[in-house]
Structure 1
């Protein structure tokens, strides 16, 4: 299972290198949702987007819609900063009280409060520093299940870039599928024609551009995270399935899953049993137009894929 990946998140680069049109209405909707839900439902409910995608709009907005998105991001971040500063004040007061108690009459509760408050203060200060940072770092492009990422699709014969959630909810299923099937951020190649994925395999395909991916493996009875990178440094055009799900209130959800297959020998030797499927560049347009091909032909695109030699190391 590809539980995390480092992606190409800056939308202008897709325009430059792949000639895509930006699905700007979907980007506006996503960031409007993030802007409004943070205020109405709390920050924990807002859509998660990689900082690299946010910075693409904040650093170089070129249209009125992009400037609107930049405003949404700026205002949402300001509210988030206020919330974290408020919590930081609470934890600092908690720490002072605990230290005063420990100085006069030590108790187990005061010890716990000192430890917990200290840890939370460190965490909150790190979050605030990261929120306020404007210079990009490599980790800004990392996504996890439930996060949004830019995905290339085909509409009207044109490549279009749309923001989608990395956990696919196929059209027509109930919303609780996310909870019942939490692993649907990946789609096994040997299950694509089965009951779940046949709703989207051969119907709606996408491509996500990935630098590297991360997997959980067992080492000496403990879980560790390994980072896998093509030895030649190439980017991977990862085959994806996606769907447009519409809720009872008419609110749409665009979501996707990365296709996975049996791992190459070096990934298997590292302890993992699955691997994402990177398409050959010459197969991208065929993959993005599944209606023009049989399921057997589409499967052959997955078989005739790029096969980089992966190097791995413990993730930082």
Structure 2
């Protein structure tokens, strides 16, 4: 499965490359919804960056929501810092007079939380983008290219697809729907395959593998499995147009509609399999993008052929930082 990916998070890249329009009203709805929930963590910093220089009313509204949310986050983080510094000072006073396990735990926990809050504050106010600012995990949001009302459009969507007819409770029971297995597209994904296709621009992807499989050996007697995360990048470096399926679920009263997507995965090429992983994303060729985004559900053989005639770069791998 595609555990996470480094994406092209700037919607303007889609505009330049595909001549697509951007659903700015859905960006505004998303930002409003995440601010209302008090959860800004699922929005990659690189996806917010284009709004630093807004053009037009919609972008200005989005920029105002981002500024307000960042101000609220700053206030919350500064309050957390004050609280944990007070806790740390109390623990250190206790340890100086009569060491206790509680004081030791308070010292350790407060120190960890202070460091985390300081990192988050630094990230919040940092203007220079880093590679990790474009990395998405299940539950995060990303710009996805689709055809809506006959027009190429970029829509912000959650990376974990809520299938048609599902509720939030049903989704929690099956949390793996951020990937759509190619051998299951005409079964579990039949309501979307051939109907609602998208493209996500990906630069690299990350997978969980066990160390002994990576090292091509059996577990030693008494050895426990150890998980490591590998970064896979295409060689030569390139943007990959990853095939996706998407859905939209009606929001409850007072809530925005949920746009969500899944990346299609298939059996891996030899170099990914040799690194210990059994799935791989499916990058499609640029010449297939129009047909992929406007599929004919009556001719799934033609849609299958697009996935089979995929772009096949060689994937270099390394331990993720």
Asked if 2 retains the 8 angstrom alpha-carbon contact of 1:10 and 1:56, the reply is yes
Q: Distance in 2 between matches of 1:179 and 1:155?
A: 28
1:70-127 alpha-carbon deviations (Å, 9 max, x no partner): 1100100110111111011110001000101111111111111111111111111001
Asked if 1 retains the 8 angstrom alpha-carbon contact of 2:33 and 2:256, the reply is no
What residue in structure 2 maps to residue 18 of structure 1?
18
What residue in structure 1 maps to residue 185 of structure 2?
192
Q: Distance in 1 between matches of 2:261 and 2:41?
A: 15
How many angstroms does 1:273 deviate by? 0.2
Find out whether 1:207 has 2:199 as its counterpart: yes
TM-score normalised by L of structure 2:
0.93
Answer with 250-259 or 75-84: which moved more.
Answer: 250-259
Asked if 2 retains the 8 angstrom alpha-carbon contact of 1:266 and 1:310, the reply is yes
Q: Aligned ranges for residues 65-84 of structure 1 at < 5 Å?
A: 65-84=58-77
CA change 1:128–1:248 in 2 (3 A) is closer
Q: Distance in 2 between matches of 1:192 and 1:273?
A: 17
Alignment partner of 2:241: what SS?
strand
Equivalent in 219, 236, 240 of residue 244 of structure 2: 240
Find out whether 1:50 has 2:37 as its counterpart: no
What residue in structure 1 maps to residue 264 of structure 2?
259
Alignment partner of 2:177: what SS?
coil
Alignment partner of 2:296: what SS?
helix
What residue in structure 2 maps to residue 134 of structure 1?
127
How many angstroms does 1:156 deviate by? 3.6
Find out whether 1:175 has 2:180 as its counterpart: no
Aligned residues: 308
1:282-310 alpha-carbon deviations (Å, 9 max, x no partner): 00110000137611110110000000000
Asked if 2 retains the 8 angstrom alpha-carbon contact of 1:167 and 1:186, the reply is yes
How many angstroms does 1:47 deviate by? 6.6
Q: Unpaired segments of 5 or more residues in structure 2? A: 213-224
Alignment partner of 1:112: what SS?
helix
TM-score normalised by L of structure 1:
0.95
Runs of 4+ in structure 1 over 4 Å off = none
Alignment partner of 2:305: what SS?
helix
What residue in structure 2 maps to residue 311 of structure 1?
316
Alignment partner of 1:256: what SS?
strand
Q: Distance in 1 between matches of 2:157 and 2:204?
A: 19
Q: Unpaired segments of 5 or more residues in structure 1? A: none
Alignment partner of 1:9: what SS?
coil
